[in-house]
Chains A and B, each alone.
Chain A
Amino acid sequence: MTEAPERVVVVGGGMAAVRLCEHLAADDRFAVTVLADEAVPPYNRILLSAVLEGTHPTDALTLRSAGWYARHGIDLRLGARVLEIDRDAREVVLVDGERVAFDRLVLACGSIPTLPPIRGLVRRDGTLDPRVHPFRSLGDCRRLDAAASGSPVTSRAVVVGGGLLGLQVARALAVRGLPTEVVEGADHLLARQVGPAAGGVLARDLRRLGTEVYTGARAVRLTPDGLQLDNGYVLPSDLVVLTAGGRPSTALARRAGLMVRRGVVVDHTLTSVTDDRVHAIGDCAEHRRRTTGFVPPAWEQAGVLARALRGEEASYDGSRSVARLRATGLDVAVLGDPERAEGEVVEVTNPISGSHRRLVVRGGRIVAAALVGDLSRVGLITQLYDRGTLLGPDEPGRLLLPESGAGPAPLPDEAEVCACAGVTAGQVRSCASVGECVDRTRATTGCGGCADVVRRLVEDSPTPVAVG
Chain B
Amino acid sequence: MSGTRTETRTETHCPYCSLQCGMRLAGRRAPEVSAWEEFPVNRGALCRKGWAAAGLYGGRERLTSPLVRDRGTGEWSAVSWDDALDRVAAGIRAAQAAGGPDAVAVFGGGGLTNEKAYALGKLARVALGTSQIDYNGRWCMSSAASAAIRAFGLDRGLPFPLADVEETDVLVLVGSNLAETMPPAARHLDRLRERGGTVVVVDPRRTPTADRADLHLQPVPGTDLALALGVLHLLVAAGAVDASYLAERTTGWEEVRDSVASWWPERVERVTGVDAHEVRALAALMSGRKVMVLTARGAEQHSTGSDTVLAWINVALALGMVGRPGAGYGCLTGQGNGQGGREHGQKADQLPGYRRIDDPAARAHVAGVWGVDPDTLPGPGRSAYELLDALGTPDGPSALLVMGSNIVVSAPRATHVTARLEALDLLVVCDVVMSETAALADVVLPVTQWAEETGTMTNLEGRVVLRQRAITPPAGVRSDLEVVAGLAERLGSQASFPTDPEEVFAELGRASAGGPADYSSITYDRIRDEQGVFWGGKRLFADSFAHPDGRARMHAVEHRGAAEQPCADYPVHLTTGRVLAQYQSGAQTRRVRSLPDDGPFVELHPFLAARLGVATGEAVRIATRRGEMTARASVVPTIRPDTVFVPFHWVGANRLTNDALDPASRMPEFKVCAARLSPVEEVAQRPSRDPAA
Contact = CB atoms under 8 A, between A and B. Distances in A.
A15 B46 CA distance: 54
Given A384-B642, A389-B642, A446-B45, A67 B254 contact: yes
Contact of B571 (A375, A387, A447): A387
Nearest to B186: A447
A65 B254 contact: yes
Interface residues of B, number: 57
A95 to B, nearest CB: 29
Given A68-B258, A379-B272, A422 B48 contact: yes
Interface stretch (A55-63, A206-214, A271-279): A55-63
Nearest to B236: A60
Contacts of B187: 447-448
A390 B264 contact: no
Interface string A367-390: 000000001101110111011111
Interface in A446-467: 446-449, 451
Contact of A447 (B183, B275, B581, B596): B183
A326 interface: yes
Given A56-B237, A63-B262, A446 B212 contact: no
Interface in A46-100: 46-47, 50, 55-57, 60-65, 67-68
Interface string B19-48: 000000000000000000000000011111
A419 interface: yes
Contacts of B79: none
A108 to B, nearest CB: 15
A389 B566 contact: yes
Contacts of A361: none
Given A44-B261, A46-B264, A60-B237, A392 B48 contact: no
A55 B238 CA distance: 7
Given A55-B237, A383-B220, A392 B581 contact: no
A422 B275 contact: no
A449 B212 contact: yes
Nearest to A444: B45
Interface string B204-232: 00001001100000001000000000000
A437 to B, nearest CB: 14
Contacts of A60: 233, 236-237, 261
A39 interface: no
B277 to A, nearest CB: 7
Nearest to A41: B258
A447 B255 contact: no
B370 interface: no
Given A46-B264, A63-B258, A421-B48, A398 B607 contact: yes
Interface string B41-58: 000111110010000000
Nearest to B580: A419
B387 interface: no
B536 interface: no
B47 to A, nearest CB: 4
Contacts of B179: 447, 449
A128 interface: no
Interface in B170-193: 179-180, 183-187, 190
Nearest to B255: A68
B19 to A, nearest CB: 11
B571 A420 contact: no
A326 B265 CA distance: 9
Contact of A395 (B45, B237, B595, B611): B611
B46 A445 contact: yes
Which 5 residue pairs of A and B lie closest in terms of their CB atoms, listed nearest first? A447-B183, A392-B611, A324-B266, A447-B186, A379-B273
27 contacts: A60-B233, A62-B261, A296-B270, A322-B270, A324-B269, A324-B276, A378-B269, A379-B274, A379-B275, A386-B270, A387-B571, A389-B566, A389-B571, A390-B571, A390-B611, A392-B610, A392-B611, A403-B637, A419-B580, A420-B580, A421-B51, A422-B594, A445-B44, A446-B183, A447-B187, A449-B211, A449-B212
